Structure 1
């Protein structure tokens, strides 16, 4: 990482955009040009020009405050494509296959998008009775195990903003649609280190999820298992949390190695 005292000329022109994106990824939340430049030390016109270029090309987008920037659609798609590269995905599916075989139920990896969790990978159970949620499916934050796991990692001010602005739609009779009830549930998730879905997204389906963390201990994806209640109880799935956590560590090491 360049020192803040470096001059404009110290950073090659063809590296500036990459180093800026690296800094935005390191911070992990909407960032202003001034804050990002504390690590890069570029002249003010240069840093603003870089932000403008990335925004124009869809790699960044302005946050709700109008001053800070967050990853845009092209950057989010880029990150998913990197994680889905053939060799990485092959080994990742090996980990998922071993986990699904041991637990006997469908296992998933999901990543947070701006408005939902999106399934990146999955390995189906061998049972004929299964719940179909294919790769690319988007599911809500507030009523899924993976989504609640993600919400639990948000900074308090960002989670409060989410509670104030989000529409907590009922997907089943057990969906949490009251902001105070969801807040209480997320506090439990933060304390426990894993999350559950007790038929909140879909009648007759239960699920548990654990985080896959980056080298800064931030959530980059979730690992979850779901099953029909005709075959498995939520209590039974919760008993698999240690195995899920071990697999999540394997998956994190795969991405970061």
Structure 2
């Protein structure tokens, strides 16, 4: 297949999105079949402009800030966002607590949409808020989607900061927690990020079954507790499937 010059960058970004993990120019070019100097020039251009950034191995590339923002903007187009907000609002009314959608950035989960509870007592985590991976339901859900080698690399370089006396700061304990999340298909936060707050999260998946973002609900104790939140799992998973379909259909 001959790729027109004006489409090479788009085809390269499409291949990176399809693979879903950091790639080297050589591995990407096994699919694209471009001249070797061309593929390296494209990667260099995308890195210089902030669409790609080198992974921690120094050889492969992952989405950069501009590409992640572009992805978030696509997910927030007016038609999709209108339907997504309606689904979120209905969910928040059904479960009685605030519900959020969050996407993974390079160093944190970022809330991209939110529907507030009707209770006057609520926890303020507005759209645009960044929260850690290791001690939030959304973040742990994302960590569970990483391949074992990538997750091990994360554990080897990250500082597991303590936010409350319940935050998991031991790498072995966090690894066990993420294994449990992976096995059961949902993640929880039992006052690990914020004293007096509990949360539960499920994944939103793309057409290849990969995590795009997360759907979570959170609330303050004693009104909310994990047993009560777990009872809402079927409804959360139903809405997650609906929201995933907005993007992949």
TM-score range, shorter chain: over 0.9
Shift of 1:61: 1.1
How far the C-alpha of 1:104 sits from its partner, in A, is 0.8
Match of 2:79 in 1: 87
CA shift, 1:196, in A, is 0.4
Structure 1 residue 197 and structure 2 residue 200: aligned? no
* Structure 2 residue 12 is matched with structure 1 residue 20: yes
User: Helix, strand or coil for the counterpart of 2:110?
Assistant: strand
1:55 & 1:184 partners in 2: Cα distance?
35
Do structure 1's residue 11 and structure 2's residue 3 form an aligned pair? Answer: yes
Which 5+ residue runs of structure 2 have no aligned equivalent? none
What is the SS of the residue equivalent to 1:94? Answer: helix
* TM-score using structure 2 length: 0.98
Matches of 1:93 and 1:36, distance apart in 2:
36
* Aligned-partner Cα distance in 2 for 1:63–1:148: 21
SS in 2 for 1:109: strand
Q: Supply the distance in 2 between the matched residues of 1:184 and 1:62 (Cα, whole angstroms).
A: 29
Within 5 Å, give how 1:99-248 maps onto structure 2: 99-248=91-240
CA distance in 2 between counterparts of 1:52 and 1:202 reads 41
Cα distance in 2 between the residues matched to 1:62 and 1:187: 27
Q: TM-score, normalised by structure 1?
A: 0.95
- Aligned pair count reads 249
> CA offset at residue 256 of structure 1?
1.5
In the alignment, the residues of structure 1 paired with residue 148 and residue 7 of structure 2 have an alpha-carbon distance, to the nearest angstrom, of: 34
Deviations 1:166-192 (A, max 9, x none): 111111110000111111110100000
Q: What's the offset of the Cα at 1:57?
A: 1.2
Task: State the superposition RMSD in angstroms.
Answer: 0.7
Aligned to 1:61: 53
In the other structure, the counterpart of 1:47 is 39
In structure 1, runs of 5+ residues without a counterpart are 1-5
CA distance in 2, matches of 1:82, 1:240: 29
In structure 2, how many angstroms separate the alpha carbons of the residues matched to 1:250 and 1:65?
37
TM superposition shift of 1:49: 1.2
Q: Output the CA distance in 1 between the equivalents of 2:216 and 2:56.
A: 31
Deviations 1:38-73 (A, max 9, x none): 111111111111111111111111112221111111
Q: Distance in 2 between matches of 1:57 and 1:102?
A: 44
Q: How far did residue 86 of structure 1 move?
A: 1.3
Distance in 2, Cα, partners of 1:61 & 1:164: 20
